Structure 1
Amino acid sequence: MYKQEKLFSNDRVILLTLKEEYFDQILNGTKLHEFRFRFPVEDVIAYIYLPSPIKKVVGKFRLSNTRFLDIKTISDFYHKTYEKPYSEMFDWVTPRKGCYVSDITDVMAFEKCINYEELIGIKGFSAPQQYMYLESKLELLEVLEKLK
């Protein structure tokens, strides 16, 4: 059964869909932030689901200090932090008023991943388009917490 003390921790837990290339950049230390148009503002522990063709939960990390930045501020931040063209972020975020940025820390890649075929047999699993909270999906959360 799910550990009772975890139910009362301050950490929200999500299953986050992420492209494989971005997870690789996080692992090698070249991607330090997550950028999203919609995202929870509170700190979260994110289990990482890589979509097709991988279709596996491959690791987890903490997302913290989430804040919404307007178009100019996020473009400046991206340009200065990643030494990428200002226009790269500006063009991506321009249809919106800005985006959320979160700091990525406590990164862990799992030695043994869990694949889609196993996941679909677990109550509460569905592959999220963006992310989904896991607090009400106790069976799924219990399986994910055992991954190392």
Structure 2
Amino acid sequence: MRTMLLSFKPKWYNLIKDGSKIFEYRRIFPDEEIMAYMYVSSPMKQIVGKIHLGRKIDINTWKEKYKDDSEICKRIDEYLIRHKYAMPVLSFQMTKEIELRTLQEFDSKFVCPQMYYYLENYPKLFEFIKKNAIEIGELKVNSFEEIDRDDICRKKY
């Protein structure tokens, strides 16, 4: 499984952390399971956790599955304006924080991801993050055996 550094706004990070957001939506994403360190943008500006994402789901396939539910289809259409894929958040793990300043001290060329990048392409940075992003707290695992209709392209969090 490949590992990436994935950028989040604080709002989305907090919803993943508290378990209320079980799908991550993106316009572009690889078609494989991913382990990702979560970089949270301003005002936090730090790596704060890890998530295991399942294979991407084309949101259009949900339109067929939920074609008899006009409310869900409307939400899907609204999401399709900005997103194409949903990745199940299989698990979330808090880590010891690594601040942007610390990352830049380690590597003066460090750049925060706009979306994501693969850490395997930056082996020294990858080792530094693995060494310093120490897992804390309990691993939170999401079950997808029964997906509530409200979990599909949620209208408001």
- TM-score bin, normalised by smaller chain: 0.7 to 0.9
Name structure 2 gaps, 5 residues minimum: 136-157
For 1:47 and 1:86, how far apart are their aligned partners in 2?
Answer: 32
The DSSP-based 3-state class of the residue aligned with 2:125 is helix
Equivalent residues, number: 131
Indicate yes or no: 2:78 matched with 1:91: yes
The runs of at least 4 aligned residues of structure 1 exceeding 6 Å deviation read none
- Whichever residue aligns with residue 60 of structure 2, its letter is D
The DSSP-based 3-state class of the residue aligned with 1:45 is strand
The TM-score, its normalising length taken from structure 2, stands at 0.72
For 1:86 and 1:69, how far apart are their aligned partners in 2?
Answer: 10
1:17 corresponds to: 7
TM alignment of 1:28-107, pairs within 5 A = 28-70=18-60, 73=63, 76=66, 86-94=73-81, 99-107=84-92
The TM-score, its normalising length taken from structure 1, stands at 0.76
Residues 71, 93 of structure 1: 8 Å contact kept: no
For 1:74 and 1:116, how far apart are their aligned partners in 2?
Answer: 43
Residues 75, 89 of structure 1: 8 Å contact kept: no
Measure how far apart 1:74 and its partner are. 8.7
Name structure 1 gaps, 5 residues minimum: 1-10
- Identify the structure with the greater strand proportion: 1
For 1:132 and 1:74, how far apart are their aligned partners in 2?
Answer: 32
Identity %: 27
Match of 2:16 among 12, 15, 26: 26
